[in-house]
Amino acid sequence: MVQSLDYLKETPSQTAGPYVHIGLAPGAAGFDIYRQELGHDIAGPNASGTRINISGTVTDGFGAPVKDVLIEVWQANAQGIYAGDGAVEEGFRGWGRVVPDFETGLFSFDTVKPGIVMGREGRPMAPHLNLWLIARGINIGLNTRMYFPDEVEANAVDPVLGLIEQPVRRETLIATADDAGYRFDIRLQGDRETVFLDV
Amino acid sequence: MSKPELFQRDREWHPRALTPDYKTSVSRSPNYPLLSLQSSDSEITGPTFGHGDIDPIDNDLLRNYAKTGDPIGERIIVHGRVLDENDRPVRNTLVEVWHANAGGRYRHKKDTYLAPIDPNFGGCGRTLTDDEGYYIFRTVKPGAYPWRNWVNNWRPAHIHFSVFGTAFAQRLITQMYFEGDPLIPHCPILKAIPDARAIERLIAPLDLNATIPLDSIAYKFDIVLRGQCSTFFENRPEGN
């Protein structure tokens, strides 16, 4: 016999279900209850750097839009610093919640472009947004990242993109430029399935 | 890095992405394996919230949407602690809940179940844990409701929980069930969890000690988030 390890086990995940908006974005569910909903303004009014818009859809294995998805965004500021991990602009939280249009499934949000973040062992990570997807049918939230098409050099040495063996899969994490800013489509399954992360 | 890394998430303990008896998961589950990453700042940092973000009434679902009186239903208290896998309290972390009303109806533009909306019940609440990781909500017990999966599926009464922790990779959404609910063994969503011990962790026991006599009955629900490593050893120093 040996001593027993006294760690607790993490609480198991369950799907957020189709009505996740009630808890996390009640305005989207159709009612007003709180003085302020959280996560509407990712960057805040004082953030430096380039203001950008990102839009896209989340689609299922049939290519149909996942209209009841909720996406959380977590990002560094333009200097590559996460809120809580160093000095950032007043009002910069770097976190937000994104809900698509219930009819079309198209999402759109505004933020600032993040800077390069120092990764493990002093290897810089290309500018990226960390995304977490929850929805009906998703038993445990899906983590992924969005990278930028105009960061070719930084992307080429990014340690996370570098872990993806197949170049065609690497491309699923890189947005495309469009008229409004960037377009990032997330495919849960099937053709050009997005790379999801076990973080 | 300025913050500790996290224990590996035990993917065999959580539900898998693909659980065919929960039909919606079939087309919404990735086919390819997840890409496993060692933690970087992007995972071990996370948003924090303060008392300026929320209001004291936000955790009182009996009152936070009341228009003409209290909502209909069994008055309950749901309370517990948010801990990490090292059994340490997770302080000052945001806990958000949402659930159906006593008739099993959600206040959501997409819910069309025939049970009525309760004009005095919104169905959501939020709070911050205290220095011991403790939280408390007051609400009505949600009702069971039918859903389209098989012809005759009923969700056991449940409360959805969303918890943050201090790292974005600790982010967790789950559901709390009630001790003694006969629908629990029949739920395909709950049975997506492969380990019976893990399922038990989602069933809140009746907590008579925390009931308020002649007022409200209580259930206790502790939540555990991923633990943080205590060592900072670098196996390869920067620059090498």
Q: Say if residues A186 and A133 touch (Cβ distance below 8 Å).
A: yes
Terminal-to-terminal C-alpha distance of chain B: 16
Banded model confidence at residue B240, pLDDT cuts 50, 70, 90: very low
Please give the pLDDT value at position B239: 44
User: Tokens 């009182």 sit at which residue?
Assistant: B60
Could you give the percent of chain B with pLDDT greater than 90?
94
pLDDT for A49-62, tens place per residue?
999 999 999 999 99
Instruction: Quote the CA–CA distance of B126 and B96 in Å, as a whole number.
Output: 4
pLDDT for B149-203, tens place per residue?
999 999 999 999 999 999 999 999 999 999 999 999 999 999 999 999 999 999 9
User: Tokens 């908006």 sit at which residue?
Assistant: A21
Q: Does B235 score more than 70 pLDDT?
A: no
Helix (H, G, I), strand (E, B) or coil at A68: coil
Give buried/exposed letters for A143-160 (b at 16+ CB in 10 A, else e). bbbbbbeebeebbeebbb
Instruction: Quote the CA–CA distance of A93 and A41 in Å, as a whole number.
Output: 8
- Point out which residues pair with B218 in neighbouring strands: B77
In B, which residues are within 8 Å of A63 by CB distance? Answer: none
Q: How far is CA B193 from the centre of its chain?
A: 15
B41 with A85: Cβ contact below 8 A: yes
Q: Does B1 score more than 80 pLDDT?
A: no
The ipTM, to two decimals, is 0.97
Q: Smallest Cα–Cα separation from A158: which of A112, A116, A98, A111? A: A116
Section B46-51 average pLDDT: 97
Please give the pLDDT value at position A52: 97
Section B70-99 average pLDDT: 98
Instruction: Quote the CA–CA distance of B148 and B137 in Å, as a whole number.
Output: 30
B168 with A132: Cβ contact below 8 A: yes
φ, ψ at A130 (rounded to 5°): -95, 130
Please give the pLDDT value at position B230: 81
Q: Does B234 score more than 70 pLDDT?
A: no
A74 with B169: Cβ contact below 8 A: no
Is B105 assigned a catalytic role?
Answer: no
Instruction: Quote the CA–CA distance of B81 and A58 in Å, as a whole number.
Output: 34
Is B158 assigned a catalytic role?
Answer: yes
Q: How far is B24 from chain A (nearest CA, A)?
A: 5
Q: How far is A76 from chain B (nearest CA, A)?
A: 8
**pTM summary value:** 0.97
Q: Which domains does chain B have, with CATH numbers?
A: 71-167+175-240 (2.60.130.10)
Banded model confidence at residue B28, pLDDT cuts 50, 70, 90: very high
Q: Does A121 score more than 80 pLDDT?
A: yes
Q: Does B231 score more than 80 pLDDT?
A: no
Structure tokens at B43: 């995972």
Section B124-140 average pLDDT: 98
